[in-house]
A and B are shown apart, each in its own frame.
Chain A
Amino acid sequence: KAGVTQTPRYLIKTRGQQVTLSCSPISGHRSVSWYQQTPGQGLQFLFEYFSETQRNKGNFPGRFSGRQFSNSRSEMNVSTLELGDSALYLCASSFSASGGNEQFFGPGTRLTVL
């Protein structure tokens, strides 16, 4: 079974631009979560989607948004990029409909904002 895939793996953007990251969950998984990983803050929850509905959201500004498609693939968008948005963005998928707790992570997208 293929794992969680994320594209692109690396991105370089400049301040003020926007970026869209993509995630394909493990086949059969309908829950997709997004996390931001930085050396200072560690792994921080962004949001979680199940059946195209956002069920929970972390403490990030509105510049961070996401969506999920009917095939469970998900995208996240960051608008008006800031230097502090440089991070590894991780997507995780889960089979569970009730809690989405057993999460399997992809390799991440490394975003650098210049």
Chain B
Amino acid sequence: QQQVKQSPQSLIVQKGGISIINCAYENTAFDYFPWYQQFPGKGPALLIAIRPDVSEKKEGRFTISFNKSAKQFSLHIMDSQPGDSATYFCGGGSNYKLTFGKGTLLTVNP
């Protein structure tokens, strides 16, 4: 049972553009929704996270939009840069564990 569905699998964006990655979850017990960024050969790094009582959270160029009724959330990367090229994972957290989406490979062309 895939509890977190992430789309798209891959995304190509031009430098300066907006990257948008979407996730949908099934488990209403999730009370924490993080986004992680992973570069090849590295472990995932926490990028930004949100709790379900908040509809939006912004940190620099990264914004999470959260829709509790639709059980969906998304990551927006403004002014995307080549250095943002990485794999991004969304997750849902509850009961001491994180459940992840399958990941989105983002490529930002210069």
Task: Identify the interface centre among A4, A33, A103, A106: most chain B CB within 10 Å of its CB.
Answer: A103
A64 within 8 A of B: no
How many A residues have CB within 8 A of the partner chain? 25
Interface segment out of the listed B10-18, B54-62, B71-79, B90-98 = B90-98
Q: Which of B34, B44, B49 contacts A90 (CB 8 A)?
A: B44
A61 within 8 A of B: no
Q: Which B70-110 residues sit within 8 Å CB-CB of chain A?
A: 89, 93-103
Q: For residue B36, which residues in chain A have a CB less than 8 angstroms away from its CB?
A: 105
Q: For residue B32, which residues in chain A have a CB less than 8 angstroms away from its CB?
A: 99, 101-102
Task: Name the residue on B nearest A108 (C-beta).
Answer: B43
Q: For residue A43, which residues in chain B have a CB less than 8 angstroms away from its CB?
A: 44, 89, 98, 100, 103
> Could you mark each residue 9-48 of chain A with 1 if its beta carbon is under 8 Å from any beta carbon of chain B, else 0?
0000000000000000000000101010000001111001
Chain B interface size, as a band, is: 20 to 34
Docked pose: A106 CA to B44 CA in angstroms: 8
Docked pose: A44 CA to B44 CA in angstroms: 13
A95 within 8 A of B: no
What total count of A-B pairs have CB within 8 Å? Answer: 67
A58 within 8 A of B: yes
Task: Name the residue on A nearest B95 (C-beta).
Answer: A56
> Could you mark each residue 82-102 of chain A with 1 if its beta carbon is under 8 Å from any beta carbon of chain B, else 0?
000000001010000001111
Contact assessment for A99 and B44 in the assembled complex, using a CB-CB cutoff below 8 Å: no
A55-B49 contact in complex given A42-B101, A99-B31, A105-B44, C-beta closer than 8 Å: no
B residues near A (Cβ < 8 Å) are: 31-32, 34, 36, 41-46, 49, 89, 93-103
25 inter-chain pairs at a CB distance below 8 angstroms, sorted by A residue, are: A33-B96, A33-B97, A42-B102, A43-B44, A43-B98, A43-B100, A43-B103, A56-B95, A56-B96, A56-B97, A90-B43, A99-B31, A99-B93, A99-B94, A100-B97, A101-B32, A101-B96, A101-B98, A102-B32, A102-B46, A102-B49, A105-B43, A105-B44, A105-B45, A106-B43
